[in-house]
């Protein structure tokens, strides 16, 4: 138990021959576990968790054959799990979670027939899950999650664990098909297999075979097929996470029977049909996310009127229609409402005065009309509001300037006219966007035309213009439309040609030959807007990466144009070099767009930070401290160039490890090889347009809080993403790890340990590797400096975040320490 004890565990404890329980958990003890503890033959409990212990687990503990509890979690232990611990046949609890072990799970542990709790979470294990664990007939809980290199398949024998309540194998590098036997463990309450390279389907009878299930987390597991209707029989379910799979079909209408359900996450699948009205009966629901599907129809009125506890609702990127229900105004707990990129029409609900918890409201990319309702002025806690790309009209209401917490406002591409306010959020042009409207005035930075006369005279001017337009003959109007269309088409083609003319021209046939017919063996990446292939050009044998756009994907064409515009004038050693672009037709007569980049032989940072079994060279060694600091500096230099040294600021919008490519010298180059987002142009007009059509979300975990699942982009948002990237580089933990739940994030995880326990949250492989290259003081100094930069970059307030040039200065000092 915690007594703030420091120092080392004395070997003289072995003199206490009658000792039954040794509980020194949650202290500040360091050093090794004395091997002399193996002399205490009567010991039943060894509890040393939550300290700073290092070294190996003594093999002498196998002599303590009466042991029932061996708890060594949250330390810095390394080496192997002693195989002969299987001699301790009375063992009921074995926990080595959060250590830096380097071995596999001993198959001999299958002999521990009395074992009830088996904790291996984040302990750096490899070698797979032994099938012999299926013999642990008393096992209640098994957690091997976040052992990213554990690998192998999930043994079918685990289905024999008929008493198992808790099974967590998330983020463990597992592959193969999910054993059907797991869905027959009727005692299961928690099943978490998320974020593995698995495949399979949800059994049709899952609602009958898992009657006690409360938490079902199978996100990003390669699931196919449909969501079984029988899932409505699992009435104890509190959380369903099935997002990021390939599920099809409709959402089961009887899902409304799950009265205890609090979170339903079905985003980023291929679901069709309508949103079941029965969801409106789930009165305990606090979070609903069905974004990124193909759902159609209208929002069920009951969903809005009855779910008064709902705090998070994301229906974005579907094909929903109709008007937004007026009953949205009664959702007193709603904090985040995202309806972006659907086909909603009509007016914004007039009465939202009860939505006092609202912080994020995103309505962009719909067909809404009318005025902005005055009731929005009563939402005093509103921080992010995006209504861009609709058909809203009238003047911009002045009451928006009274919302003191409003940080970002996007009204671009509507039909607003008249003067732009200058108070509140309108006082800083970086915080609001009004491009694509007929507005005037505002702060000088907007460079809008001056408003003539009073508001009334402005309206008279608008009226006179309307009369003038009406007076134009039908023939002249038609000619104007034709000329406008021709100009738009010309401008888009010209944008492509400008990039192509600067570089060598390549035909479709040449790219086809370079990739062996765009073969699967040449495929190196797949993203939302297309695929990336490795190719070899011509007789010179130049290796390239070729991003081929999927033009059937909504937004892909605009993505191509935006990237062409951004890359047209960019030149920097830490940006991926674009060789050329190709905009032509394939052999079938279909449009074909591609971008050709310099190939990066050392692939991306993600492969180095989170290697999987079979990754090749990237899994054979750990990135050194010097390499990590160098990579961090490279990315910062690239960001500084994008933000401050071009013709206009460029906002990347999707900074993450997989978008940091490494060359032969391990120099980082920022790019995006066909994943989900493209580099954004940021001049006064194109910035607004691109930021709301292809830069909506970025990647979960790296999105700054002010974006709020679709808010306006900014250079400060990139800085936040960079800070998260820094934390990931030096902790080797993804921001989406299952550990970060219940309000915790990778930032809060590191902040809680900073500065006293910085070494504890650092990547164990990095710490172990540098023990022979750096003294402990220098290593800790470097980590503290890096974490300080990362935490300042990830401040909640955009204005409080560190400037890129300051991050470069501090990281340069860290690099000098590493080089010494």
Q: Write out pLDDT tens, residues 252-269.
A: 999 999 999 999 999 999
Dihedral of CA 673/677/680/685: which sign?
Answer: positive
- In 126-214, DSSP assigns E strands to 141-143, 166-168, 175-177, 190-192, 197-201
Which of the listed ranges 461-470, 546-555, 692-701 does the model predict with the highest average pLDDT? 546-555
The domains spanning 472-599 and 601-820 adopt the same CATH topology = no
Going from the C-alpha of 13 to that of each of 22, 27, 70, 286, 603, the distances in angstroms are 9, 17, 17, 51, 52
Cα radius of gyration rounded to whole Å, the chain: 29
- Could you tell me whether strands 542-549 and 660-662 are parallel, antiparallel, or unpaired per DSSP bridges? unpaired
325 or 693, higher pLDDT: 325
What are the residue ranges of helices labelled H in 645-714? 686-691
Question: For residue 680, what is the DSSP state?
Answer: B
Tell me if 505 is assigned to a ligand binding site: no
Judged by phi (left if over 0) then psi (alpha if -120 to 50, else beta), residue 292 lies in: left
pLDDT at position 453, please? Answer: 60
What fold, for 202-299? 3.80.10
Strand pairing partners for 95?
71, 119
Residue 235 to residue 14: CA distance in whole angstroms:
52
Of 156, 146, 150, nearest in space to 182 by CA? 156
- Could you tell me whether strands 415-420 and 391-395 are parallel, antiparallel, or unpaired per DSSP bridges? parallel
Q: Which residues contact 344 (CB under 8 A, 6 or more apart)?
A: 320, 321, 322, 323, 324, 363, 366, 367, 368
> What band does 558 get if pLDDT is binned at 50, 70 and 90?
low
Q: Which residues contact 788 (CB under 8 A, 6 or more apart)?
A: 754, 810
pLDDT at position 430, please? Answer: 84
The yes-or-no verdict on residue 743 having pLDDT over 80 is no
pLDDT at position 493, please? Answer: 40
Q: pLDDT per residue over 301-330, tens digit each?
A: 888 888 888 988 999 999 999 999 988 878
Residue 469 to residue 678: CA distance in whole angstroms:
39
Which of the listed ranges 134-143, 466-475, 508-517 does the model predict with the highest average pLDDT? 134-143
> Taking the chain, what is the end-to-end CA distance rounded to the nearest angstrom?
41
The yes-or-no verdict on residue 27 having pLDDT over 80 is yes
Is residue 654 part of the annotated active site? The answer reads yes
The yes-or-no verdict on residue 472 having pLDDT over 70 is no
628 or 562, higher pLDDT: 628
> What band does 526 get if pLDDT is binned at 50, 70 and 90?
low
- What's the average model confidence in pLDDT over 518-540? 76
As a whole number, the mean pLDDT across the chain is 83
Going from the C-alpha of 393 to that of each of 234, 377, 457, the distances in angstroms are 48, 17, 18
Q: Which of 143, 338, 640, 654 is catalytic?
A: 654
Of 101, 134, 139, nearest in space to 120 by CA? 101
Q: pLDDT per residue over 219-235, tens digit each?
A: 999 999 999 999 999 99
What fold, for 601-820? Transferase(Phosphotransferase); domain 1 (1.10.510)
What percent of the chain lies above the pLDDT cut of 70? 84
Residue 507 to residue 290: CA distance in whole angstroms:
41
The yes-or-no verdict on residue 248 having pLDDT over 70 is yes
> What band does 649 get if pLDDT is binned at 50, 70 and 90?
confident
- In 327-436, DSSP assigns E strands to 336-338, 345-347, 360-362, 367-370, 384-386, 391-395, 408-410, 415-420, 432-433
- Could you tell me whether strands 391-395 and 117-119 are parallel, antiparallel, or unpaired per DSSP bridges? unpaired
pLDDT at position 354, please? Answer: 86
Of 146, 198, 157, 192, nearest in space to 174 by CA? 198
> What band does 622 get if pLDDT is binned at 50, 70 and 90?
confident
**491 three-class SS:** helix
Of 94, 218, 115, nearest in space to 164 by CA? 115
- Output the CATH code of domain 472-599: 3.30.200.20
- What's the average model confidence in pLDDT over 68-94? 94
Residue 568 to residue 494: CA distance in whole angstroms:
12
pLDDT at position 271, please? Answer: 97
The yes-or-no verdict on residue 554 having pLDDT over 50 is no
What percent of the chain lies above the pLDDT cut of 90? 52
- What's the average model confidence in pLDDT over 456-467? 39
Tell me which of 19-33, 176-190, 337-351, 613-627 is least confident: 613-627
pLDDT at position 486, please? Answer: 32
The yes-or-no verdict on residue 560 having pLDDT over 80 is no
The yes-or-no verdict on residue 555 having pLDDT over 90 is no
**556 three-class SS:** helix
CA angle, 739 then 743 then 746, to 5°:
50
Q: Other C-beta atoms within 10 Å of 450: how many?
A: 8
Q: Which residues contact 436 (CB under 8 A, 6 or more apart)?
A: 388, 412, 413, 414, 685, 688, 689
- Helix 776-793 to helix 715-731 angle (10° resolution) is 150
> What band does 583 get if pLDDT is binned at 50, 70 and 90?
confident
The yes-or-no verdict on residue 469 having pLDDT over 50 is no
708 or 575, higher pLDDT: 575
Residue 642 to residue 309: CA distance in whole angstroms:
42
- What's the average model confidence in pLDDT over 513-535? 78
In contact, 422 and 398? CB cutoff 8 Å? no
The yes-or-no verdict on residue 529 having pLDDT over 70 is no
Domain boundaries, the chain: 202-299, 472-599, 601-820
684 or 371, higher pLDDT: 371
Using CB atoms within 10 Å of the CB of residue 211, give its burial: 0 to 12 exposed, 13 to 18 middle, 19+ buried.
middle
> What band does 491 get if pLDDT is binned at 50, 70 and 90?
very low
Q: How far is CA 806 from the centre of its chain?
A: 26
> What band does 4 get if pLDDT is binned at 50, 70 and 90?
low
Q: pLDDT per residue over 185-204, tens digit each?
A: 999 999 999 999 999 999 99
Q: Which residues contact 169 (CB under 8 A, 6 or more apart)?
A: 129, 144, 145, 154, 192, 193, 196
Q: Concatenated DSSP letters for 287-341?
A: EEE--SS--EEPPPHHHHHH-TT--EEE--SSEE-SBPPGGGGG-TT--EEE--S
- What's the average model confidence in pLDDT over 492-508? 48
């Amino acid at each position: 138990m915690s007594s703030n004890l420091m120092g080392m565990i004395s070997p003289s404890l072995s003199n206490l021959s009658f000792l039954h329980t040794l509980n020194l958990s949650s202290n500040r003890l360091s050093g090794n576990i004395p091997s002399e503890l193996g002399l205490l033959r009567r010991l039943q409990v060894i509890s040393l968790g939550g300290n700073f212990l290092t070294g190996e687990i003594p093999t002498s503990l196998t002599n303590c054959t009466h042991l029932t509890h061996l708890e060594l979690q949250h330390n810095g232990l390394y080496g192997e799990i002693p195989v002969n611990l299987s001699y301790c046949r009375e063992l009921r609890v074995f926990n080595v979670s959060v250590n830096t072990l380097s071995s596999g799970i001993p198959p001999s542990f299958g002999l521990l027939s009395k074992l009830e709790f088996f904790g291996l979470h984040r302990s750096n294990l490899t070698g797979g899950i032994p099938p012999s664990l299926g013999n642990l007939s008393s096992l209640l809980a098994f957690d091997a999650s976040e052992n990213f290199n554990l690998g192998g398949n999930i043994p079918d024998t685990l289905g024999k664990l008929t008493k198992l309540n808790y099974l967590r194998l998330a983020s463990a590098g597992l592959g193969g098909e999910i054993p059907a036997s797991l869905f027959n463990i009727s005692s299961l309450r928690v099943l978490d297999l998320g974020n593995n390279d698995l495949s399979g389907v949800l059994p049709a009878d899952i609602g009958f075979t898992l009657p006690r299930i409360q938490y079902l987390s199978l996100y990003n597991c390669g699931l196919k097929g449909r969501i079984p209707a029988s899932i409505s029989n699992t009435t104890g379910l509190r959380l369903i996470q099935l997002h990021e799979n390939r599920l099809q079909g409709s959402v089961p209408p009887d899902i409304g029977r799950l009265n205890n359900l609090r979170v339903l996450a079905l985003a980023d699948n291929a679901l069709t049909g309508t949103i079941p009205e029965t969801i409106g009966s789930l009165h305990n629901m606090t979070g609903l996310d069905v974004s990124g599907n193909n759902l159609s129809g209208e929002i069920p009125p009951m969903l809005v009127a009855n779910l008064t506890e709902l705090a998070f609702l994301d229906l974005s990127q579907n094909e929903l229609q109709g008007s937004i229900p007026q009953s949205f105004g009664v959702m007193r707990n709603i904090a985040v409402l995202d309806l972006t990129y659907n086909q909603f029409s009509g007016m914004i609900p007039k009465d939202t005065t009860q939505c006092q918890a609202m912080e994020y409201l995103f309505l962009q990319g719909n067909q809404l009309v009318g005025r902005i309702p005055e009731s929005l002025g009563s939402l005093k806690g509103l921080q992010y509001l995006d209504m861009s790309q609709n058909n809203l009209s009238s003047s911009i209401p002045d009451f928006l300037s009274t919302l003191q917490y409003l940080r970002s406002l996007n009204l671009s591409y509507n039909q607003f006219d008249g003067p732009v306010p200058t108070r509140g959020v309108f006082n800083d042009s970086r915080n609001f966007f009004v491009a694509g409207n007929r507005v005037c005035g505002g702060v000088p930075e907007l460079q809008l035309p001056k408003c003539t006369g009073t508001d009334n005279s402005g309206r008279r001017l608008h009226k006179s213009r309307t009369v003038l337009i009406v007076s134009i003959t039908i023939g002249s109007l038609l000619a104007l439309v034709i000329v406008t269309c021709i100009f738009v088409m010309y401008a888009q083609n010209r944008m492509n040609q400008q990039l192509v003319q600067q570089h060598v021209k390549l035909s479709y046939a040449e790219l086809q030959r370079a990739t062996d017919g765009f073969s699967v063996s040449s495929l190196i990446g797949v993203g939302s807007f297309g695929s990336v292939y490795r190719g070899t050009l011509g007789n010179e044998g130049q290796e390239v990466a070729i991003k081929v756009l999927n033009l059937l994907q909504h937004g892909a064409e605009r993505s191509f144009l935006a990237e062409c515009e951004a890359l047209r004038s960019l030149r920097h050693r830490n940006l991926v070099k674009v060789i050329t672009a190709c905009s032509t037709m394939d052999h079938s007569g279909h449009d074909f767009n591609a971008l050709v980049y310099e190939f990066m032989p050392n692939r991306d940072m993600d492969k180095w930070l989170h290697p999987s079994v079979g990754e090749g060279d990237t899994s054979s060694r750990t990135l050194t401290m010097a390499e990590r600091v160098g990579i961090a500096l490279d990315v910062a230099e690239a960001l500084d160039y994008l933000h401050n040294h071009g013709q206009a600021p460029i906002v990347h919008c999707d900074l993450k490890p997989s978008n940091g490519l490494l060359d032969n010298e391990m120099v980082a180059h920022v790019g995006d090889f066909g994943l989900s987002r493209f580099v954004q142009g940021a001049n006064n007009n194109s910035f607004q347009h691109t930021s709301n059509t292809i830069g909506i979300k970025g990647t979960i975990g790296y999105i700054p809080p002010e974006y709020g699942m679709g808010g306006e982009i900014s250079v400060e948002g990139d800085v936040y993403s960079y800070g998260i990237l820094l934390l990931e580089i030096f902790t080797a933990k993804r921001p989406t790890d299952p550990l970060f739940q219940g309000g915790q994030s990778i930032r809060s995880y590191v902040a809680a340990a900073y500065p006293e326990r910085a070494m504890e949250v650092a990547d164990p492989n990095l710490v172990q590797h540098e023990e022979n290259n750096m003294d402990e003081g220098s290593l800790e100094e470097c980590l503290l400096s890096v974490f300080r930069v990362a935490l300042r970059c990830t401040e909640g307030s955009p204005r409080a975040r560190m400037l890129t040039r300051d991050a470069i200065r501090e990281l340069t000092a860290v690099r000098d320490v590493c080089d010494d």
